[in-house]
Amino acid sequence: MVRGSVALLVGLVVASVASAAAPKPAIELRIKAVKDLVPIIKYIGEVAHQAEPADQIAGVIQELAKDEDGIYGTRADLPIGAYIAFGETIETSPIVLMLPVVSEKAVLDNIGDKLNIDPKKGEDGAYSLDVPNVPYTVYFRVNDGYLYATIRSAKGVEKGNLIAPKVFFTAKDAPVVGLTANIAEWPADIKKTLLGQVEMQWMNTLQGLQPSATQKLLNQFLVDISMNALKTTLADGKTLNIALDATPKSDDITLGLSLSATGSDTALAKALAGFADRDVLPGQLLAGSNHFGLQFLVPPEAKKMLVQLKGDLVEAAGKNVPDGTKAGYELVGTLFAPLLESGDIQLSVAADTSAKPGQVQVQSAFKLDDGDQLRGLLQILGVGIPKTAAKFTPTVAKVNNRKLHKIDVFDMASSPLDVGTVWVATSEDYALAATSPKDSGIRTLMSAKPKSAKMLDVKVSFAELYPVVNPGKTTGTMTAGKDTLTITGQGGTEFKLNAALKGSVLKFYTAER
């Protein structure tokens, strides 16, 4: 009997502690410690050609941090945080700021000295503060070496609602700024309100425009597909992470994003699975220093919207084009309809500046469910082109069941694109293209096998492309290896997007301006 009573008592205590645990925040913000921001401030100042003001700011921070009371009572060696725990409405959702402090006394002394305000201490140990020109009362409490502050209600800084610093700050190598949205924790009413606000903003943006019939269709498609993506993310999303960082040593400014879904059978989870790496022929063009690659399986709802848009665009174009070119528009519709219905997007473009100074050669590969129809489209388009401008020669060779066509383009000597000859290869599943005097490059591509590719793969070498776009100009300190922008996107069990830009690129272009 006694044992049973003790067990029951222990169970009740554990349950009460669990129920009093801090709620999981809906949104979390983390910022590097102030002392770790000093080299970042100097670096950004140098990149933006504002080194002197940046050094002054960094110097002030370093000087203030020497005081035994820290920077106005706060510590410079620990990270800063903030979080929101959603209530029934946004108004009742506390926003809590977390500042590392030297001590409670240092905080109170600085508030009294700097603001000339005497905080009032409540029975539970929390303080209230009425700040001039601030419409809400500020509530704060010092706990575990951090000051927790909120407005409107003291509930956000009640001891049972606080998130311990050792729980909140877990990453050893945190970015400059990190934002986490625990979407699964958001109440349905909050999600509904957000959807309504975003849709209203879209409508307000489009209201003042006077688009053509075609542009109107594209605008509405953009609204529909973005709202569908947002609705799916809010319904099935688990966690969204965004990280902004800068690394002076490697001269990198980076942005990272990741999105995960609840469960494996939700619409979002299936969409993310369609963004996974896979073997595709356009993957062959993603090894150089300038390329763009995109491959994914379109989610079912988005696929329906694309097919509808294609039909609407062809219909709208057919009403406003001369009879002589209607066949071309109809063939375009026929060409892309199977691709949109299958929802299998595969595309890559690569640019090479090494072959000829001041010019760039381009190669491209994209999936078509009936690429051979592209030859018919080229012939139709070629009817209206003067013979002095270009000449189309179909099927000059065959490689691996792919037909190679040649387009000679005249009077293009001054163009930065090396388009004296355009080669186009067609087959049942792909269309390939290349600008080059010789066909060796495209023949290699015609014989190639599919290669692993990310959902999104972008790389740009500004030092290589800048002289092509700006003949006669040099890139100064923006040299090879210190001149790149890279962007990658990968799906699967979650979606990850990573972008990295060399600071030298920003430094060069800010100087140009």
Q: What is the pLDDT of residue 10?
A: 37
Q: In terms of Cα–Cα distance, which of 292, 237, 300 is closest to 26?
A: 237
Cβ atoms within 10 Å of 350's Cβ, excluding its own: 25
Give the global pTM.
0.87
Q: Rounded to an integer, what distance in angstroms lies between the CA atom of residue 481 and that of residue 485?
A: 10
Residue type present at position 228: N
- List 408's β-bridge partners, or say none: 391, 421
Work out the percent of the chain whose per-residue pLDDT is above 90: 49
Whether pLDDT at 382 is above 60: no
DSSP letter for each residue of 197-217: HHHHHHHHHHHT----HHHHH
Residue 379 pLDDT grade (very low, low, confident, very high; cuts 50, 70, 90): low
pLDDT digits (tens, 9 = 90+) for 320-369: 655 555 555 565 666 566 667 788 999 999 999 887 777 888 999 999 87
pLDDT digits (tens, 9 = 90+) for 453-465: 999 999 999 999 8
Q: In terms of Cα–Cα distance, which of 310, 300, 314, 243 is closest to 268?
A: 300
Mean pLDDT over the full length of the chain = 85
Name the CA dihedral angle for 370, 371, 373, 379, rounded to a multiple of 10 degrees: 180
Asked if residue 338 lies in contact with residue 409, where contact means CB atoms within 8 angstroms, the answer is no
Q: Which of 90-94, 119-123, 348-352, 406-410 has the lowest mean pLDDT?
A: 90-94
Asked if residue 494 lies in contact with residue 461, where contact means CB atoms within 8 angstroms, the answer is no
Q: What is the pLDDT of residue 150?
A: 94
pLDDT digits (tens, 9 = 90+) for 411-464: 655 566 656 788 999 888 888 999 888 899 999 999 999 999 999 999 999 999
pLDDT digits (tens, 9 = 90+) for 78-103: 999 999 988 766 667 789 999 999 99
